[in-house]
Structure 1
Amino acid sequence: MAQVLEFKLPDLGEGLTEAEIVRWLVEVGDVVAIDQPVVEVETAKAMVEVPCPYGGVVTARFGEEGQELPVGAPLITVAVGERSPSGGSADPGAGSPSRSGGEGSGNVLVGYGTSEAPARRRRVRPGRPVTSATAGAGAAPGGGTAAAETRVAGAGAAGTARTDAAVPAVADGTSGPVNGHAGAVALDDGPVPVISPLVRRLARQNGLDLRELTGSGPDGLILRADVEYALRAAGRGSTAAPAAQPHVPQPHAPVPQPAGAAGAAPATGPAAPATRSSATTGEIRTPLKGVRGAVADKLSRSRREIPDATCWVDADATELMRARTAMNAAGGPKISLLALLARICTAALARFPELNATVDTEAREIVRFDHVHLGFAAQTDRGLVVPVVRDAHARDAESLTAEFARLTEAGRAGTLTPAELTGGTFTLNNYGVFGVDGSTPIINHPEAAMLGVGRIVPKPWVHEGELAVRQVVQLSLTFDHRVCDGGVAGGFLRYVADCVEQPAVLLRTL
């Protein structure tokens, strides 16, 4: 007898709570091995393939490409022990005691787990599953709640595995499909879950009772489109611009449709995603999600928690540029300017370790690190990312150049792992690539400081008592005033400027 197990979107780590489905790697009816990747998802951190800890026949998929799912939402259901079309066991681990019985492998990716998901950021009070008329079996006697279940038919004469039309029952107790998708929940009491205060206000302005709606979002979450859809169905119109009819992707197994959920119009099929705009004001709204949403959250937290200050200085970078030219002319791998600046940073942090630190707010302690994991800001098509060079203090210019190039390419391709995007102790921000001279950057929380480097341009400069045209750069240091005072910050920045003006100063620490 096959046992149907549900695999949910696992804990993504680092505070990430949702991921967007980029590409499905399996179809309903496919046989999957334990720890075989089944879907490619994109988070605010990276793009990864998610492995399923179970082996068997895929009976249902939840979500379509382009849809964003929260952590803990069902991804697929797998019939463990179901026979494959060839007549053999579909569970690749059936012969192993550690992999039998649907226990799964328990293996994890770097930064991604196949264990239970953590508590969700948005809490939804458990409620009674919505009753709906299902097509076929499952209705309780006497008109009770219809309990959706997963049934995997036994193998036929040819041993072919197939799925029944019933909807898989999810582990959190939710019932059959609502508004054309599985897993929706109606709440009997408590606050009604909505995606934003704007949705609640829209319903209040139009006299709509949110308790009468069935949300099409995860766990019955009521979206703005649900409210506008209900208003149009009731003939009341909406004070907001109309939106496309909401569509929630369904499992690829056949799903019975509900017999008229309250406040919702009949489903008419998928609606193409579009950016909503206001016809009256010409507004264009872009959701703060993915990389941009993660960056927004982190920068906001930095501004809220860190009392930062900035100091800056102009430096003559002519000798540094000449030194780089001489290095590259000597043969061997080319040395990047960013690598030289990184080497200067690590030398400065060895002299001023107060800036290679973080603040433990709960313990009210300053934590200093004996290593430098150097982050660097990189602009990609997916937005701003900050990859981290591990143990930058132990690398020479060639090693730093190679690692910067590798991480930058991975960032552009969207393949950076969470481990490569977290754990930094200090950040180097080369905003000069954007053609600007100066900036007051926001500290990369929870670090204590960030060095900013502007563009290097020819400027008039007094050199050896005479006016000359030199290659000048503006350096800025934004620091957490809790970890040090202006004397330490100024000393760090002056040492960096001295190394830029006279690279031979670095010889003392090499």
Structure 2
Amino acid sequence: MNTLEAQLFRLPDLGEGLTEAEVVIWKVAAGDTVEIDQIVVEVETAKAAVEVPVPYAGTVLELHAEAGTTLSVGDPLISVGASAPVPDRGPGTAAEAGPDVAAERYREEERAGSGNVLIGYGTGHLPGQRRRRRGRPGTASSHTAARAEAAPVAARVEAGSAGTGRLGVAVPPVAVPAAGTGRGQAPRVISPLVRRLAQENGVDLAGVTPSGPNRVILRRDVERAIAEPREPAAEPRPGRPAAITGRTPQPDPPAPSPQPDPPALSPRHGAPAAAASAQEPERIPLRGLRRAVAEKLSRSRSEIPDATTWVDVDATALLETKDALRAAVPDRRIGLLALLARICVAGLRRYPELNSTVDLERAEIVRYPWIHLGFAAQTERGLVVPVVRDAHRMTLTELAAELARLTALAREGALPPQALTGGTFTLNNYGVFGVDGSTPIINHPEAALLGIGRIIDRPWAVDGALAVRKITQLSFTFDHRVCDGGVAGGFLRYVADCVERPATLLADL
């Protein structure tokens, strides 16, 4: 049998200017066998959770980072040794021919892939068809089981390679179950928040029924598992040893002593003084998406001299238009967000000063000839802003379809990095949180952002008479370097007129 030198795979360039990623979960363990393009690890960048394929085939020798570790591009990720040893099958085989033939076969197999791992695309070594991949454990419990299964192998390797300082000399390949599809596929967890929620409440993710696409476990699945009544664990009978551990029975614990009087209350806060002094503040690392959001918002506040203006509008006619469109074309789900997006596009064509950014290095205002419309979407990973590219070229129906597609990907945590960058204007419907108004922070490096509050019944004067109407508040935050209040007020007033009289849009079609 012949072996080859280990191949070190480093964290690849994830694109879109991303320079680091946090290891979320390993899909393989030391001793496993992997194929070219097999997913070996899931990492979380500042923009999305992505799966990383390996460009080598062979036996996993070492994982260079634990789950939760933040790596920079180029840091060691995983070491892969030789492929499964070539057995001696008689005359004419590679084993008989010697190590040079085996090495050349391995090089040919490696050359079949490009070696340039592109997230989400693999190495593309087999055009026209996809190679079967080994099983990919999708939960923490299955990953632990894989490590436990590989433990005897690691022990044999250590015993067989004592004094050599190397792994992979006598490592038999560890069988990995084939990845299933549909109902047979292991459930996956994308959101770190979901994993943390399950861990804090003692929920085994292997027993949670996933409801998300591609058998992804969502937060509501864990919350449902937490709410389900749990059967109390059976207490061992006194006087009998434990069946698993075989330990001798321990005597019953002594009866609890009388509890002392409760501690004195703090005179200032009215809380137990001893308990308050024993508590420590919780420290949460600022990384991943939360860190990216914090950096962008801090930069926006420090660089952009923003101003906010707002107006209350009667959205009754807009809601009636939405209902009329749904009745006329029931197969095309045109929602309120799509109508507002269409209004924003028309407004930016009238006021192109707001579809711009400021280049500080060259002291220039850059106006874009295209409109890449971003919209805020709340997900389990936090707030993200998917971007509808070339929104100015889309019809209302096309806008609605693209908004729905990007929203679904955002909730699944499957947005590619390029779908989260390049926006020129942002629309934020914070009314879904039940609030009326806001002074939003501009999504740097853009120059403006429109916010929409909740739509509620309010008394409103209509043709001199008081009536109950559907009222909402529009707030508009803009970069005062690109325009003055007249332009900002003109844009906001145009948007308000379109909300109150949607037929106004016909003039710009």
TM-score bracket for this pair, using the shorter chain length: 0.5 to 0.7
Note the C-alpha offset of 1:320.
0.7
TM-score by length of 1: 0.64
C-alpha deviation, 1:418, in angstroms: 0.5
Question: Residue 20 of structure 2 corresponds to which residue in structure 1?
Answer: 18
Aligned residues: 359
- Aligned-pair distance for 1:296? 0.8
In structure 2, do the counterparts of structure 1 residues 98 and 34 end up closer, same or farther at CA, with 3 Å as the change threshold?
same
Of the candidates 86, 94, 101, which is equivalent to residue 107 of structure 2? 94
The 1:471/1:278 distance shift into structure 2, 3 A limit, reads same
User: 314, 324, 327: which is aligned to 2:325?
Assistant: 327
Q: Report what 1:33 is aligned to.
A: 35
Higher helix share: 2
Distance 1:448 1:40, change over 3 A: same
Amino acid at match of 1:77: S
Residue in structure 1 matched with residue 61 of structure 2 by the alignment = 59
Unaligned ranges ≥5, structure 1? 114-134, 139-148, 163-276
CA contact (8 A) 2:313 2:474 kept: yes
Q: 2:229 maps to which residue?
A: none
Q: 2:169 aligns with which of 128, 139, 153?
A: 153
Equivalent residue for 2:230?
none
Q: Which has the larger radius of gyration?
A: 2
Q: Which residue of 1 aligns with 2:365?
A: 366
2:108 counterpart SS class: coil
Distance in 2 of aligned mates of 1:71 and 1:484: 40
Displacement of 1:66 after TM fit? Answer: 4.1
Distance 1:421-1:110 versus aligned 2 partners, 3 A rule: farther
> Where does residue 461 of structure 2 map in the other structure?
462
Check 1:56–1:112 CA distance in 2 against 1; reply closer, same or farther (3 A cut): closer
Residue segments in structure 2 that go unaligned for 5+ positions in a row? 95-101, 124-160, 175-274
Aligned ranges 1:68-83 → 2 under 5 Å: 68-79=70-81, 83=85
Q: Write the letter of the residue equivalent to 1:341.
A: L
* Structure 1 pair 412–91 and aligned structure 2 pair: CA distance change class (3 A): farther
Check the 8 A contact 2:453/2:473 in 1, yes or no.
yes
Q: Is the CA contact (8 Å cut-off) linking 2:63 and 2:77 kept in structure 1?
A: yes
Per-residue CA shift, 1:186-237, capped at 9, x if unaligned?
Answer: xxxxxxxxxxxxxxxxxxxxxxxxxxxxxxxxxxxxxxxxxxxxxxxxxxxx
Change (3 A) 1:42 1:339: same
Distance 1:97 1:475, change over 3 A: closer
CA 1:96–1:286 in 2, change beyond 3 Å: closer, same or farther?
Answer: closer
* Alignment match, 1:474: 473
2:390 match: 391
Q: Please give the secondary structure, in 2, of the residue aligned with 1:460.
A: strand
For residue 167 of structure 1, what is the aligned residue in structure 2? none
Q: Check 1:324–1:450 CA distance in 2 against 1; reply closer, same or farther (3 A cut).
A: same
Q: 1:222-237 to 2 correspondence within 5 Å?
A: none
2:452 maps to what in 1? 453
Deviation at 1:503, TM superposition (A): 0.4
Report the counterpart of residue 106 of structure 1 in structure 2.
116
Secondary structure at 1:299's aligned position in 2?
Answer: helix
| Cα deviation code 1:339-389 (max 9, x no counterpart) | 000000001111111111111211221111121111111111111111111
- Counterpart contact for 1:55–1:92, Cα < 8 Å: no
Residues of 2 paired with 1:92 and 1:506: CA distance? Answer: 66
Deviations along 1:263-299, whole A, 9 cap, x unmatched? xxxxxxxxxxxxxx99545422222222212111110
Return closer, same or farther for 1:107/1:21 CA change in 2, 3 Å cut-off.
closer
Give per-residue Cα distances to partners, 1:386-426, cap 9 Å, x unaligned. Answer: 11112212222222222222222222221111011111111
Q: 1:447 to 1:29 in 2, by over 3 A?
A: same
Q: Distance in 1 between matches of 2:316 and 2:16?
A: 42
Distance verdict in 2 for CA 1:377–1:323, change over 3 Å: same
Distance in 2, matches of 1:86 and 1:403, equals: 57
Return the letter of the residue paired with 1:508: A
Contact 1:22–1:40 (CA<8 Å) still a contact in 2?
yes
Distance in 1 between the 2:105 and 2:382 partners? 40
- Kept after mapping to 2: 8 A contact 1:56/1:82: yes
Distance 2:326 2:103 in 1: 58
The residue type paired with residue 480 of structure 2 is H
Pairwise CA RMSD of aligned residues? 3.1
Are 2:46 and 1:44 aligned?
yes
